Amino acid sequence: MAKWKVFVTRRLPSPGLELVAEECDASVYEGDRPIPREELLRRVRGVEGLLPLLTEAIDAELMEAAGPQLRVIANYAVGFNNIDVAEATRRGILVTNTPGVLTETTADLAWALLMATARRLVEADAYMRAGKYAGWSPTLFLGPDVYGKTLGIVGFGRIGEAMARRARGFGMTVLYHDVRRRSEAEEQQLGVVFREMDDLLAEADFVTLHVDLNERTHHLIGRPQLERMKPSAILINAARGPVVDEAALVEALRTGQIAGAGLDVFEREPEMAPGLADLPNTVLVPHIASGSLETRAKMAEIAATNLLEALRGHRPPNLVNPEAWGKE
Ligand SMILES: NC(=O)c1ccc[n+]([C@@H]2O[C@H](COP(=O)([O-])OP(=O)(O)OC[C@H]3O[C@@H](n4cnc5c(N)ncnc54)[C@H](O)[C@@H]3O)[C@@H](O)[C@H]2O)c1
């Protein structure tokens, strides 16, 4: 039997590629940076399956370049804002993601950012390495307590909920905002209280973002929202860069409108807004929230399974556009 032709846009952790190679004629981009657009458009020609990363824009032009035989786009991420899902659906192409396995790993990193920003770990580490430590001081690298404070979670889905569980161990009051309000019983069980966005921003000592990126969440945090936050507040973003107006954030951090920010994602990755990297009250990491050994391997396995199931004619486990099912 002829093998399905697929393209994978980057080498993936084991066992992703091995699974794909068993049943497919798989071509893999070997570079260690995002594949150049021209090369991507060329290499997708004639494929039945595509396994991209969130760094690739999978739009109408690309689907057109691939051709009408393209049946599945199996994203190596839980977010799928890099894919024009409506266009894929129109063409009867199945789109899948890798939900669930990233939840705890991403919450761990968001929590690490929160702790590191509050307690100034990165600045303090640099100070030690520079040989500046001259002995204990009562005023060295002071930051706010985390324990007992108020956490505001914006976007209370899987990862938001995992943050609430962590906050419980720190004796925090947990407020959440989401377009979908939970039942009272659920709120009670999770120990969280609903707030309208403006109230959450005004009350929280730490605001952590866990919404998906969509038209309504683009620049969800801009100048007016930053102005509502406490001057002592810290903002954490391990969701998607464009959820925050990064230039407004730089301004707010520079003027002391808010106290600090811990960022895993940036508005125009891999670039950062001018001035951001010069601010001492930020902890900046390169989109590594799902980057545990175990999770990246599981994501590869899930993306490969989604791809293979779709090619076999089975409904893939993590279909994000069920409307396309049966339309291929
Ligand atoms: N930094 C990383 O490496 C990394 C890793 C995993 C996930 N993510 C991002 O985190 C996002 C969340 O992941 P998840 O698995 O928790 O997804 P999820 O779908 O379970 O949760 C997203 C929540 O955001 C809510 N939401 C959407 N629009 C909103 C709005 N305008 N206002 C308030 N709430 C809104 C949704 O109702 C939902 O409850 C993903 O979409 C992805 O972009 C980033």
Q: How many CA atoms lie within 13 A of 290 on its CB side?
A: 22
Same domain membership, residue 88 and residue 159: no
pLDDT for res 245: 98
Strands of 4-8's sheet in order across: 24-28, 4-8, 49-51, 72-74, 94-96
- CA 162 remoteness from chain centre: 14
The response to whether residue 282 sits with its C-beta less than 6 Å from ligand 1 reads no
Instruction: Look at residue 209 in the predicted model and tell me its pLDDT.
Output: 99
Asked whether residue 69 falls in the same domain as residue 181, the answer is: no
Q: Are 309 and 174 contained in the same domain?
A: no
Strands of the 150-154 sheet, one edge to the other:
192-194, 173-177, 150-154, 206-209, 234-237, 260-263, 282-284
pLDDT in tens, 9-24: 999 999 999 999 999 9
Ligand 1 atom closest to residue 177's alpha carbon, by position in its atom list: 33
What confidence tens digit (pLDDT) does each residue in 131-178 have? Answer: 999 999 999 999 999 999 999 999 999 999 999 999 999 999 999 999
Q: What is the 3-state secondary structure (H, E, C) of 145-157?
A: CCCCCEEEEECCC
Domain limits for position 124? 103-284
- Specify whether 280 is located in the same domain as 307: no
Cβ of 195 below 6 Å from ligand 1: no
296 lines ligand 1 (CB under 6 A): no
By DSSP bridging, strand 150-154 and strand 24-28 are unpaired
Q: How far apart are CA 52 and CA 76, in angstroms?
A: 6
Model confidence at 67: pLDDT above 80:
yes
Question: Is the CB–ligand 1 distance for residue 129 below 6 Å?
Answer: no
Residue 39: active-site member: no
241 lines ligand 1 (CB under 6 A): no
Residue 186: CATH number of its domain: 3.40.50.720
Q: Whose CA is nearest to atom 25 of ligand 1?
A: 155
**What's the gap in Å between 293 CA and the centre of ligand 1?**
22
CB atoms within 10 A of CB 271: 11
pLDDT value, residue 1:
65
What value does the mean pLDDT take over residues 194-208? 98
Pocket test for ligand 1, best of 211, 214, 302 (most atoms within 8 A of CB): 211
- Based on the fold, state whether residues 87 and 131 are members of the same structural domain: no
The active-site residue, picked from 10, 210, 228, 240, is 240
pLDDT at 328 over 70: no
Considering the domain architecture, whether residues 277 and 240 belong to the same structural domain is answered as: yes
Q: How far apart are CA 75 and CA 316, in angstroms?
A: 12
In three-state secondary structure terms, 323 is helix
Do residues 151 and 175 touch, judged by C-beta distance below 8 A? yes
C-alpha to C-alpha distance for 27 and 16, rounded to whole angstroms = 13
Residues 92-141: pLDDT tens digits?
999 999 999 999 999 999 999 999 999 999 999 999 999 999 999 999 99
Q: Are residues 45 and 126 in the same domain?
A: no
- The confidence score (pLDDT) of residue 326 equals 84
Q: Is 168 a catalytic residue?
A: no
Q: How far apart are CA 172 and CA 87, in angstroms?
A: 43
Mean pLDDT of 186-208: 98
287 catalytically annotated: yes
What is the tens place of the pLDDT at every residue in 225-274?
Answer: 999 999 999 999 999 999 999 999 999 999 999 999 999 999 999 999 99
Count Cα atoms within 13 angstroms, Cβ side, for 153.
30
For ligand 1, is residue 157 a contact (CB within 6 Å)?
yes
Give yes or no: residues 76 and 158 share one domain: no
Kindly tell me if the per-residue pLDDT of 2 is higher than 90. no
> DSSP string covering 16-29, please?
HHHHHHHHEEEEE-
Q: What is the pLDDT of residues 272-313, one digit of tens each?
A: 999 999 999 999 999 999 999 999 999 999 999 999 999 999
CB 143 less than 6 A from any atom of ligand 1? no
Annotated catalytic residue, options 43, 91, 195, 287: 287
Residue 166 and residue 68 in one domain: no
Do 147 and 197 belong to one domain? yes
Specify whether 52 is located in the same domain as 125: no
Q: How many domains, the chain?
A: 2
Q: Is 119 in the same domain as 157?
A: yes
